[in-house]
Structures are given as structure tokens and as C-alpha cells.
Amino acid sequence: MVEVMFAEPGVEQLAFMPTIAGARRFTREAWRLAGIEEFTVAEDGGEVVGFSWCSERGVSLREGARAARVGWGLAGPLRLVARGWPRQLVEIPMPAGPKLVELQAAPSRRGTGVGTLLLRRVIDSVDGRTLSLTTRSDNPARRLYERHGFTVQGEKTHRAFQRRTGAAGRVLMVRPGRKPE
Ligand SMILES: CC(C)(COP(=O)(O)OP(=O)(O)OC[C@H]1O[C@@H](n2cnc3c(N)ncnc32)[C@H](O)[C@@H]1OP(=O)(O)O)[C@@H](O)C(=O)NCCC(=O)NCCS
């Protein structure tokens, strides 16, 4: 999954992670601490071609700090904050309930239906509950989410974020459930 995630580092990874080598260690440790039971992996002939992570809680601040030390050493948390602060400016709080924290298809497999398959699986797994996610406002994946019943419920923009990424900010997308939270 780490290989898939960093095969072609994304705009935000490049902009806000102190180094990509450290980001790989950081991510592996953060997932290990959070527990990988909530991940769904798409495989083709034994090769991981994508994955999703749907969680109610994601990575806590404490786990993030610990993972940052594994990623970049003792000063890791500080380095992450020093480089990543514009990302925090466009962070949008998500409603209670399940959240789609990650959805990734291997770059060589994008546009071949892997993402759709994983997203359908996640939607089935929440069993009629409201599902939320946030993403960069210019992410083409928004169309994929809209096709599956998500609508934009909020947006946060900031010039510092835009300067680093070219995107105005991030959007909150919600797929309303059949059941009250
Ligand atoms: C988003 C993503 C998981 C979709 O997986 P996929 O296997 O390419 O998706 P599918 O083939 O099932 O569906 C195609 C849809 O994916 C989206 N998509 C395609 N290429 C994409 C790309 N390079 N980046 C982001 N989204 C892309 C589009 O919405 C596309 O639908 P459209 O042609 O109507 O616009 C995949 O493109 C990816 O890993 N992107 C980078 C990581 C990312 O942005 N994840 C979402 C974070 S919230």
C-alpha cells in the first residue's frame, strides 16, 4: 500500500512532507498504529493495485507525532509542522460517522475501474450510514465521488495553500445515509 501511495507522490505530499522517503516511513508507522483492519486492498494476480481506508477516527494527533518521529527522527513532528502548516489552514472538520480517509489506485491502473470498485465496497460496508471525505478542491476524483452520491458540503481555501499546491483549498464531500447518526 505504501508503494501504491508513493509511486507518484501527489501534490500535497510533495508540498507538505519534509521528504518523501520520510513520508513513506511516517505513513507506514501511522497505519501500523491506527490498525490496518479497516483497509480494503485491491489485488490483481497478487499485486496490490489500489486500496481504501474507511475509518471513524483515522490517525490521532499522538499517533501522528509518533509516526513523524519514525519518519524524520526526533525533530520529525516539528519538521512536519514547519513544512505542513498551510495544509492545516484548509483542514475541514468532518461529521461524525465513517470517513473515507484514503482511496488510491496504482498510477499505472488509474482510469481502469479500480477506484470505482473500492469506492463501491466502502459504500456497501458503511451499511446506509452517512459517509464523508475531504479532498483537494481541484482533484478530478471529485467527479468519481459525485457519481456515487457525494455532494460538496463545504470548502476552505487559503492563499498559502494555493501558493504551494496550485489548488484553492479543500472540499468536504458527504454522501447522506439512510440512517440517522
Ligand atoms: C481517485 C482514484 C483512486 C480513482 O481510481 P481509478 O481507478 O483511477 O478510478 P476509476 O477508473 O474507477 O474511475 C475513473 C475516475 O477516477 C478519477 N480519476 C481518474 N484519473 C485520476 C487521477 N489521475 N487523479 C485523480 N482522479 C482520477 C476521475 O474522477 C475518473 O472519472 P472521470 O473520468 O469521469 O473524471 C485514482 O485516480 C487515484 O489514486 N488518484 C490519486 C489519489 C487520489 O487523488 N485519491 C483521492 C483522494 S480523496
Q: State the pLDDT at residue 178.
A: 86
Check if 83 has its Cβ closer than 6 Å to any atom of ligand 1: no
Check if 115 has its Cβ closer than 6 Å to any atom of ligand 1: yes
Q: What are the E-state strand segments in the chain?
A: 39-44, 47-55, 99-105, 131-136, 151-157, 169-175
Check if 125 has its Cβ closer than 6 Å to any atom of ligand 1: no
Please give the Cα distance from 11 to 137 (Å, whole number): 12
Mean pLDDT of all residues in 45-61: 95
Q: Which CATH class is domain 2-175?
A: alpha beta
Centre of ligand 1 to C-alpha 107, Å, is 9
Burial 131-157 (b: 16+ CB within 10 A, else e): bbbbbbbebebbeebeeeebeeeeebe
pTM: 0.94
Pick the closest to residue 113 from 150, 136, 151, 147 (CA basis). 147
Q: State the pLDDT at residue 80.
A: 98
Centre of ligand 1 to C-alpha 176, Å, is 21
Pick the closest to residue 152 from 166, 163, 141 (CA basis). 141
pLDDT tens figures, 82-117: 999 999 999 999 999 999 999 999 999 999 999 999
Q: Do 106 and 58 meet the contact criterion of CB atoms below 8 Å apart?
A: no
Residue nearest to atom 17 of ligand 1 (CA): 141
138 CA to centre of own chain: 15
In the block, cell 494476480 appears at 45
| DSSP conformation class of 91 | -
Q: State the pLDDT at residue 77.
A: 98
Query: Model confidence at 174, in pLDDT bands (50, 70, 90)?
Result: very high
Check if 137 has its Cβ closer than 6 Å to any atom of ligand 1: no
Centre of ligand 1 to C-alpha 62, Å, is 31
What's the mean pLDDT when you consider all of the chain?
96
Query: Model confidence at 180, in pLDDT bands (50, 70, 90)?
Result: low
